[in-house]
Amino acid sequence: MKKCIAVLAGDGIGPEIMKEGLKVLDTIAKSFGHTFEYKEALVGGCAYDKHGHPLPDETKAICNNADAIYFGAVGGPKWENLPAELTPERGALLPLRAIYGLFANLRPAVIFGPLADAASLKSERLKGGLDILIVRELTGGVYFGKNKVKSIALNEGSVQGEYAVDYMIYSVPEIQRITKVACEASMKRSKKLTSIDKANVLESSKLWRKVVVDYVQKNYPQIQLNHMYVDNAAMQLATNPKQFDVIVTENMFGDILSDLASAITGSIGMLPSASLSETGFGLFEPIHGSAPDIAGQGKANPLAQILSGGMMLKYSFGLGKESNAIEQAIMAVLEDGYRTGDIASAATPKDKILSTSGMGSKVAEYLTKT
Ligand code: IPM
Ligand code: MG
């Protein structure tokens, strides 16, 4: 199979983890007889520095002509105070999600057996491991509601002086299509789906709940559906995560809960994601950010980036076998005790603590062994 991949490494640790992601994809290409053509492009702060915009036209052109987008991470303190539309997040990442209609964000939170000791919960709460799929709506809600900042001095009322507004907007079709994605995933798993909202307070959540109930009853009556308020869901995730299988939720709740879920699995450096459009076009990125504080030190964990490459193979190219091979290689590497610093414990021997590139090479080496 021949595929063209837009490679957008971005800022901070992005380039160093991307290098490892590509190393593993190259190994897959060689072992399974595929050709992956990489088209690298600047995105985020580095693109702003070079071209004056975090999502330059030539980057968009490369993405338009690619079969999938492989993304690292963007942002950093250097660009935080730019006008909103020029920041790496609001000028590049969110527009990419919007331009390509990447409404369905799949974030699997899995504990790899050997890492149970790195997880933040007591091991009895994680007996038998953990395998949750968070389905986050990615192109709606408060991230994309028209937001305005107004400088108005009000004479009356509780709002005084300058104020800011963000609109959390959801329409019925937006809720239906993400519910469908979650139901399809759920049908392949335990048929247990939890929808998370804040229907006791928010109108958008009341609509969310009603649409989810109607959709599931009508189309997937076999699915066992339950609902949870987001505050309770955070508490439940932190205390009894094994009650969840597939979670479906709106954009901001999914953002917050997926960071929490990653902490439960041991490290934010372990969680990949796939953002998919209705036609199956996708962007694949780790859920963590650009971690400027550790950039360039060879400390970053490249596994979320590598696993995101695996999701690209599976979801965009239909290469399930290859994607499984990556997961199995990672499992074997971890079983043999290799760790990056973030997932090491006091008991990890020094020679098993690998650098970013050491971990990438180890996964590639194990891929060729199996
Ligand atoms: C994520 C990130 C982004 C988000 C940021 C970088 C805009 O936190 O993908 O979870 O909030 O969606
Ligand atoms: Mg986030």
129: left (phi over 0), alpha (psi -120 to 50) or beta: left
pLDDT value of position 109: 95
Q: Which ligand is nearest to the CA of 141?
A: 1
259 neighbors 120 (Cβ within 8 angstroms) = no
Question: Where would I find the H helices in 125-202?
Answer: 172-187
Q: Say whether pLDDT at 117 is over 80.
A: no
143 is catalytic: yes
Q: Which ligand is nearest to the CA of 272?
A: 1
Q: How far is the CA of 73 from the centre of ligand 2 (A)?
A: 11
Q: What is the pLDDT of residues 179-238, one digit of tens each?
A: 999 999 999 999 999 999 999 999 999 999 999 999 999 999 999 999 999 999 999 999
Q: Beta-carbon neighbour count of residue 144 at 10 Å?
A: 18
Reported as a pLDDT band with limits 50, 70 and 90, residue 351 is very high
CA dist 76 and 10 (Å) reads 10
Token pair in block for residue 256? 């917050």
Tokens 């709740």 belong to 253
Residue ID of nearest Cα to ligand 1 atom 1? 287
Q: What is the pLDDT of residues 155-171, one digit of tens each?
A: 556 666 777 889 999 99
What is the b/e burial string over 212-225, where b = at least 16 CB atoms within 10 angstroms of the residue's CB?
beebbeeebeebeb
Averaged pLDDT, 32-47: 98
pLDDT value of position 153: 54
Averaged pLDDT, 244-262: 96
231 is catalytic: yes
Question: Where would I find the H helices in the chain?
Answer: 14-32, 45-51, 57-64, 88, 94-99, 172-187, 203-219, 230-239, 251-265, 303-315, 320-335, 356-369
Provide φ and ψ at 108, rounded to 5°.
Answer: -75, 125
Q: How far is the CA of 258 from the centre of ligand 2 (A)?
A: 7
pLDDT value of position 162: 78
Instruction: Tell me the three state secondary structure of residue 174.
Output: helix
Token pair in block for residue 181? 């994605």
Q: Which of 49, 231, 293, 336 is an active site residue?
A: 231
Q: How far is the CA of 252 from the centre of ligand 1 (A)?
A: 9
Q: Say whether pLDDT at 3 is over 70.
A: yes
pLDDT value of position 177: 98
Share of the chain above pLDDT 90, in %: 86
Greatest mean pLDDT among 35-39, 124-128, 156-160 lies in 35-39
117 is catalytic: no
pLDDT value of position 370: 65
- If one residue of 93, 105, 258 were mutated to test the ligand 1 pocket, choosing by the most ligand atoms within 8 A of its CB, it would be 93
Strand partners, 10: 73
Residues in the chain: 370
pLDDT value of position 102: 98
pLDDT value of position 267: 85
Q: Say whether pLDDT at 37 is over 60.
A: yes
Averaged pLDDT, 57-70: 98
Q: Say whether pLDDT at 79 is over 90.
A: yes
Report the interhelical angle of 320-335 vs 14-32 (nearest 10°).
120
Q: CA 125, 187, 272, 198: dihedral to nearest 10 degrees?
A: -70
CA dist 273 and 309 (Å) reads 9
**Which whole-number Å values give the CA distances from 117 to 348, 352, 356, in the listed order?**
11, 15, 21
Provide φ and ψ at 247, rounded to 5°.
Answer: -115, 135
CA dist 137 and 284 (Å) reads 15
Averaged pLDDT, 281-285: 98
Averaged pLDDT, 332-339: 96
Query: Does 137 contact ligand 1 (Cβ within 6 A)?
Result: no
Q: How far is the CA of 288 from the centre of ligand 1 (A)?
A: 8
What is the b/e burial string over 50-72, where b = at least 16 CB atoms within 10 angstroms of the residue's CB?
eeeebbbeebbebbeebbbbbbb
pLDDT value of position 350: 96
Query: Does 255 contact ligand 1 (Cβ within 6 A)?
Result: yes
Averaged pLDDT, 5-15: 98
pLDDT value of position 250: 98
pLDDT value of position 266: 81
Averaged pLDDT, 99-122: 88
Closest ligand 1 atom to residue 74 Cα is 6
What's the helix, strand, coil split of the chain in %, to 5?
50, 20, 30
